[in-house]
Amino acid sequence: MERYRTRPAQYGPRRDRPGSSLPPQAGRGADGRAVRQPGAQRRPAAGRRTAPAPPPSSGRLPSPRLTGLGSGLFCALVMSLLGWSCAVLFGASLTAYGVLFLPVCVLTAVWVRRVDLMTAPVVVPIAFAVGLLPVADGDNGIAGTLMGLVTALATQAGWLYGGTLITGLIVIVRRIRLVRLRRAARAGA
């Protein structure tokens, strides 16, 4: 069986041999070795570059950008910690838990990335239910804990809806701003 070449042949003189039509590279002889020219100074060895100094703090809050999964994990973790702390400090006060839920909703809606904006109103109610587990009254086993969770969700629906509404409004405002910026950029281009 015959094999055909897939690359064209390389004809012509080689460049690194004497008699080549091209001159040797600067600082190299015809044989390709480095040539030190008289009077030339050596450059200092490249040292480590230092990172640029961070801009001065203007007193603003940090502005992390969370992915959709990251915002869900952040919200669930914070709500779990708040649930445990409410159970320990406030005697399982559902009202204290609901009040502490609102700032977490705001932070989740503000810190989520632009691409993942629509995930924030979804993860907030899930995190509310996850964090409610230590606060909910559960007497005996899994069935009692589940009954306490359902009861707590039913009685604290106002906080749940309020936090979800706040998150949704912030996300909608951010989305409208994003669409306007994109339209302005297209119109200017």
CA distance 187 to 189: 6
pLDDT tens, residue order, the chain (189 aa): 666 666 666 665 555 555 556 555 555 665 656 666 565 555 555 556 666 666 656 666 567 888 889 999 999 999 999 999 988 888 888 889 999 999 999 999 999 999 999 999 999 999 999 999 888 877 778 888 888 889 888 998 999 999 999 999 999 999 999 999 999 998 887
CB neighbours of 77 closer than 8 A, spacing ≥ 6? none
| The pair of three-digit structure tokens given for residue 17, joined into one six-digit string | 């041999």
Q: What is the reported pLDDT for 92?
A: 80
Helix then strand then coil, in percent of the chain rounded to 5, is: 55, 0, 45
**The whole model's pTM is what?**
0.63
Helix/strand/coil (H, E, C) string of 25-46? Answer: CCCECCCCCECCCCCCCCCCCC
